[in-house]
A and B are shown apart, each in its own frame.
Chain A
């Protein structure tokens, strides 16, 4: 009896042991299942289509072109490899605004006919209509075939406008660049600070100082992201604004400053460990040759602890890139390609946090956000694995 109990318990423990593996598996499965669907979706909203006059020979249009057409930036078909014909955009609302209730019929049964007439009269027309109310294809009307959302468009295009009509744009490049910009900038700021602190803690500080400094760093690590965002917004952003004479203080730089403070504890603890693991004899040998302490640290300790320091950098980058709330509150959230650190940017985690609430479940926007999640997850997975591999490498 006792043996059976023991075996059961052992089995339970073993399953528990595997629980983290199961969770990672779940994360991967769910992210991918929801995200990959994006590439099977059409560029245009479900239930809608683009209608052209049959004399218009245009074969296909890119999502960006469609958006520019409807924004009025492209006005002639010849600009998009078509005929020299003026573009007339037409939306469903235009129909409802130009005709009275009675014209449209009690059950809106006249609508398809009205539209068909309208299309046949305007050769350069492009109409964005719900398929349920639109006319069938005929001698006058044809539907523009719209391709699926493409992988390369997702990564190469920089316009992220998930709510634009008729075609939502999912170019994540501006988000990726924004994320990397803020992340690496944060590390550039945090690295000298973190290394200096690590050297101070491992080589210079006496016990009393360590007793104060170490808890301080631990507390900094424990402050929630929202609170950092709060602090950054109320205190740092105005300072940045004043010092650099900018229109607003919410910039990539401000985000990087906050992230630097948040990533600091990670960098300090990993680097300090690496420095502490340097054998005492090595340091003594250098000092015995007449090198002073700083020279010894630079020329003997740092090279020896190289792998640990590198691991600190990589892990710090991973931490900075994955931060959500603080960045969301402080970088201004403009999903554009930044041309300087003094502009507002949007990072991937911030985008997901800001938009997921409004994206209809299962829709293209929803899927696009999950795809962003995949990108983020893979990136932090990579930094985590690389960091671990590097730190295990003995010199």
Chain B
């Protein structure tokens, strides 16, 4: 594919027409286009579909093999855990939840960006979302899968995990609906279901593109099967747009509800450091923060590896950095607020819990969290940082680390020194904890890499809609005289 120059000839401009041409805004006000280098529509199809079509690149294999290995480790660890008991992990009195819940909340948080980008930004008509929404949604689904593993395997009797669902059983006992863990079950499963549906809905036109481009029977058959007979007719598009809008509307409250409910796992209890009314909004902000962090971590190298710099542009990265900065600052505000309330409440237990966070045995975890979540995003005030891809990549990883520590701070530090000092103790992860956590990365990346190879990672149809060619008023776009596209 040759660079530059649109494949369409500029229509010959008559004098009359010239009058009608909207003057381009002055250079200073001009927005950077969402697809740079005036890429043509055909180029877009080729570039995006090409990722899944061409020969498997070497780097893919180099990433895939370790991922599968890690994933296998994860399952081995789970088998080991199941065969003996939860004791192979670190928890004990008084820290009864350890890495499992930290990881759960962390992965769920990461899973927030996808739906936020696809649903809320869609409703807010943020057109820049189209370049990143597909990958972000895929990330969401895989992150929620990783997250979903933990609550199930962290229970003592895994084989009775289904008791958390309201399934009629011979014991005649219903789940306890006052328990936030129960709400969690519903919130997470609903979120996962809707996210998958939303993602798949959006995929249908693109799967049809893949089908149409397929050269082998198997590909054709598989893509054909999943594209559900999409022909791209007006009726299809009309129904599709409506359904997409409805799903976006449905997903939007879920973005807010999932992490609010996850936060209630903590705030409904009466433990100092958990029992905080600020948790729901603070958790949502944190989730969006970490989600964008993860999207940046994934897309910054991918846009280069897949040569998609023209579609996932620096502007996209910058915009995401800005969201990260905003949510990071909200999180920072929440941290400050927690301390203020602890002091203002006058409750010595509450106050101790927070002083202990900053100065206790786990001070290093607390200060890691503060530096990664509050200080690191402040770099994004600077355009130079936002446009430097290496910087952004490193900072986004720090954001992920910081958010993991935030959950660690909440879960472990609050528990390890609570009401009765006689209970005070320490939590230490075991090798199984560590390997299980690392293993979920294997699971995540295995799925993500497979996603890269089989599914268009950018919404082809949508991204075409934000090119200048799609804009009838743009000099390059619209159905101009004598032609259409």
- Say whether A associates with B: no
